Every structure is written in structure tokens, then in C-alpha cells.
Amino acid sequence: MSQGVRRAGAGQGAAAAVHLLVTLSFLRSVVEAQVTGVLDDCLCDIDSIDNFNTYKIFPKIKKLQERDYFRYYKVNLKRPCPFWAEDGHCSIKDCHVEPCPESKIPVGIKAGHSNKYLKMANNTKELEDCEQANKLGAINSTLSNQSKEAFIDWARYDDSRDHFCELDDERSPAAQYVDLLLNPERYTGYKGTSAWRVWNSIYEENCFKPRSVYRPLNPLAPSRGEDDGESFYTWLEGLCLEKRVFYKLISGLHASINLHLCTNYLLEETWGKPSWGPNIKEFKRRFDPVETKGEGPRRLKNLYFLYLIELRALSKVAPYFERSIVDLYTGNAEEDADTKTLLLNIFQDTKSFPMHFDEKSMFAGDKKGAKSLKEEFRLHFKNISRIMDCVGCDKCRLWGKLQTQGLGTALKILFSEKEIQKLPENSPSKGFQLTRQEIVALLNAFGRLSTSIRDLQNFKVLLQHSSF
């Protein structure tokens, strides 16, 4: 090869490298410029959320997710799709979910729905298996007969009318415990028609979209003509607050999931050993203002909005867990006490946040109309939770169900303020309750949002220092 050709090749390579650096620098500056300022429909700015999450929430919520009470989640991944015959499959083996052997589940958790979260009898030697644990029951032996009767009523109380989600039946033989730490959410290769159909059903059929609005809410759908999206957002701003909030919650959840996939991407696999890490190209494809026609920054802002909603729910539900009767029971007394202390510490932090979303601004009009709208809101979200059973990838289904249930639990909390305020200190309540499944989903879902915001900061740094 001649020196001239080599010089030309080197010059082209250098030019390409410079072009890539300029592109990455431009992307970082655009993302930072557009994902900033005060969020719509609330009085909170993004920088405040970033700082609060980085220094107060993220380190603690990450630690909480590692505790036994919160790492084991019981889920039914075999429920059939109620809307269509699912034929989608993951393209790589990492879609598989490995259930947790019964022998690995802490005995207090295996006691199942009968224990909710109360202390069990102290004689743990008798708790050799799940059946024996259920026979012993889950009521603290110091409770009065009246309290025991209240507990039985509480256990039977059907609060399905308050649920925003379709809950799995934990007694079903198909329901299995999953160790969330051993089955992390990450890119699985699940895409194409099957994935598109799930998101399309969520956006097009459940986000209060009238037929007259031609721009699809689903960001994965093909664009329609030259519409830059402004007409759609003009329409969105004309909606009532409740319907705007609904769309932002779904969009924020979608953005959060996409961030997790970009952060834990299969970069390469050598001799059967996968290498996972952040994928800048994938991040750009999903969030770059140019490639997404301005949608990317809006999606990321909706992620922050969703974070605020779940943060508010945690601050509101704190009194429920502050009661002495509540014990996050696994059978390890020392760890259980530490877990509750850590959880209460997180609640204190959430209550200290100065710019909470005001949920009282929702469903605040005419009582009859507000009640009807709230029920419509609940049923739409409940329908989305059912769509999660149509996801063709087991790992995607696991994390989709958990995060949807976590958000549904947060909504249940936000609209149960009066019931929470009336909770008795030393006895169970049948007016408001949370199952262990809801508690685990709530905290893990918020942990995923906290991680997403942390990951977004990391991507900004990667874009700034990328040299490839």
C-alpha cells in the first residue's frame, strides 16, 4: 500500500473519529439542555430530583433490595394472555427466568399469604417447611383474641375494588418464587412484532386516545407523515390533568425500562461468557432528540414525573409501616429489625423531599364525575397489568409485572389517604392493607426508577468522555 493511500486512510479515520466525538458531544449537550428545568403538572425541577436521588435515595434503596424480604418475589409467569395467542420468543437464552428452590426461601416468607408481614410464633424449630409454617399461622402470640379475630377478618377482606392491578394468585401451583438479584432486568433480544403488539395495545387502547388523534402514542409505531409531534402534544395539553398523568406514567415506565436495557446490554459473548454493559448506540437510538424526532427528552422527563408519583406514594404510606404491629418477617429476627429500620429511614427521606406532587389536584371536581373518572383510570391501568401476561419473554414479563404492580400499588396508596390515616396502631386494619407481594413490588419498582435516574447520569458522563 502506498504512503499516499495510507495517509488518505488515516485521514479518513481521524475525520470519522472527530465526527463521532462531535456527535457524542452534541448528543450529550442536547440531552442535558432538554432534560432539565421544571416538570409539567408539578412544581419540581429535574436537578433537585437528581441530587435527592443520588445522595439520599439510591444508596439506601439499593441496599434494601438486597434484603431477603425484598429480593424474593412470587409470580406466575405461566398465566395465558387474555387478549391474543402469544407467539413471541426471546432471541437469546438470557430471557429465561430461574425460579428459586423452596429450600432457599426464608421460612417466614414461605408461610405465604397467611402471614402478611406480622411476627410468627417464636418456636422457629417447628417451622421446617411451608405446610407447618401455615399451620402455626402468623399472628404474634401476644395479640388479644379480639385482635386475632380482626386479623382473620382482615385476611379475608376482599379489597379488589381498590386494586389498580390484576394480582397473581399466590396459591396457584404455577406461582413460583423468583430471586430478583439472580434474575436482573436487562436486554434479552425480545423485540419485533410480539413486543410491538404489547406496547401498541398499552398506548393505543388504554391511554384515553380518541380515534380523531392520528399520531400514535406508541413511540415504536411507524411515524405518520411529516407530523413532528407538536399537534399531538397540543392535543395532550388539552386533556384533563388525570388523563395527562396517565399517559405520562406509562411513557415514564416505558422510558425507565428502555434505560435498564441500554445499561445492561449484551455487548459480546466469548466462549459462552456474556459481557454486559452500557450501550451508547442503543441509548442514542431510543433517546436522541434527532433520531426520535424530539420524543427522547420528553420520555425522559416522563421518567422523572413517574419517579415523583412513586416517591409521593412512599411518603404517604409511611404511617402504615411505622406501626409497632408491622414486622417484615423472614424468620431472621436481627435482619428483620435491620430491614424495617432501613425502610423507615427511606420513608423519612421521602417525607423530607420539599417538592412533592400534589395528588389532591386529581379527581377534585364534581364528586360524581370525579368518582367515575377515577374508576375509569383504575380500570384502564388494571387492564395494562393484564397485558403483562402477553409478554412473550419470561424475564421481560417478570419485570414488567413487578414494575406495573409497583406503580399500581403506588396509585392505590395515593388514593387511600383517608383509610391510611385511620389505621389502628396495635391491631390489623381491614380498611387498608397491603399484601407482601404488593410491598415487594412497590419498593422494587421504585428502586428500578431510582436506578434509571442514576443510569441516565452515567450515560451523560459516558457521552462526555467517549473516545470511540
Maximum mean pLDDT: which of 4-8, 165-169, 170-174, 307-311: 307-311
Asked whether the beta carbons of 42 and 361 are under 8 A apart, the reply is no
Is 251 marked as binding a ligand?
yes
Which pLDDT belongs to residue 406?
97
Q: Is the pLDDT of residue 54 over 90?
A: yes
Q: What is the mean pLDDT of residues 286-302?
A: 89
Q: Which of 48-62, 155-169, 409-423 has the lowest mean pLDDT?
A: 155-169
Q: Which of 41-45, 187-191, 233-237, 446-450 has the lowest mean pLDDT?
A: 233-237
Encoded amino acid at 436, one letter: R
More confident residue, 1 or 216: 216
Is 188 marked as binding a ligand?
yes
Encoded amino acid at 243, one letter: K
**Residue 443 φ/ψ region, left for φ over 0, alpha for ψ in the -120 to 50 degree band, beta for the rest:** alpha
Asked whether the beta carbons of 106 and 330 are under 8 A apart, the reply is yes
Which pLDDT belongs to residue 5?
44
Is 404 marked as binding a ligand?
no
Q: Which of 17-26, 217-226, 419-428 has the lowest mean pLDDT?
A: 17-26
Which pLDDT belongs to residue 128?
39
Which pLDDT belongs to residue 109?
92
Which pLDDT belongs to residue 294?
82
Rounded distance between C-alpha atoms, residue 188 and residue 266, angstroms: 8
Rounded distance between C-alpha atoms, residue 4 and residue 193, angstroms: 49
pLDDT classification of 463: cutoffs 50, 70, 90: confident
Average pLDDT over the chain, rounded to an integer? 81
At residue 101, what are phi and psi to the nearest 5 degrees? -60, 145
pLDDT > 90: percent of the chain: 49
Is 156 marked as binding a ligand?
no
Q: Is the pLDDT of residue 385 over 50?
A: yes
Q: Which of 25-34, 323-332, 380-389 has the lowest mean pLDDT?
A: 25-34
Q: Which residue, among 288, 304, 305, has the nearest Cα to 296 in the 3D structure?
A: 288
Q: Which residue, among 457, 458, 440, has the nearest Cα to 181 in the 3D structure?
A: 440
Which pLDDT belongs to residue 94?
74
Give me the active site residues, please: 393, 396
Q: Is the pLDDT of residue 310 over 70?
A: yes
Q: Is the pLDDT of residue 263 over 80?
A: yes
Is 113 marked as binding a ligand?
no
pLDDT in tens, 177-192: 999 999 999 998 888 8
Which pLDDT belongs to residue 185?
95
Q: What is the mean pLDDT of residues 35-51?
A: 89
Q: Is the pLDDT of residue 331 over 90?
A: yes
pLDDT in tens, 125-159: 333 333 333 332 332 333 444 544 444 444 444 44
Q: Is the pLDDT of residue 353 over 90?
A: yes
Asked whether the beta carbons of 190 and 270 are under 8 A apart, the reply is no
Rounded distance between C-alpha atoms, residue 397 and residue 78, angstroms: 10
Rounded distance between C-alpha atoms, residue 221 and residue 197, angstroms: 10
Q: Is the pLDDT of residue 258 over 90?
A: yes
Q: What is the mean pLDDT of residues 427-433?
A: 78
Rounded distance between C-alpha atoms, residue 444 and residue 185, angstroms: 12
| Residues linked to residue 75 through DSSP beta bridges, in sequence order | 176
Q: Is the pLDDT of residue 218 over 60?
A: yes
Q: What is the mean pLDDT of residues 427-453?
A: 92
Which pLDDT belongs to residue 204?
86
Q: What is the mean pLDDT of residues 39-49?
A: 90
Which pLDDT belongs to residue 274?
82
Is 193 marked as binding a ligand?
no
Which pLDDT belongs to residue 89?
59
Asked whether the beta carbons of 201 and 83 are under 8 A apart, the reply is yes
More confident residue, 55 or 424: 55
Q: Which residue, among 450, 460, 466, 452, has the nearest Cα to 60 in the 3D structure?
A: 450
Range list of H helices, 415-465: 417-421, 436-465
The three cell numbers of residue 50 are 437528581
Rounded distance between C-alpha atoms, residue 458 and residue 464, angstroms: 10
Maximum mean pLDDT: which of 232-236, 353-357, 449-453: 449-453
Using the Cα atoms of residue 44, residue 45, residue 46 and residue 47 in order, give the sign of their dihedral: negative
pLDDT classification of 217: cutoffs 50, 70, 90: low
More confident residue, 417 or 115: 417
Rounded distance between C-alpha atoms, residue 439 and residue 461, angstroms: 34
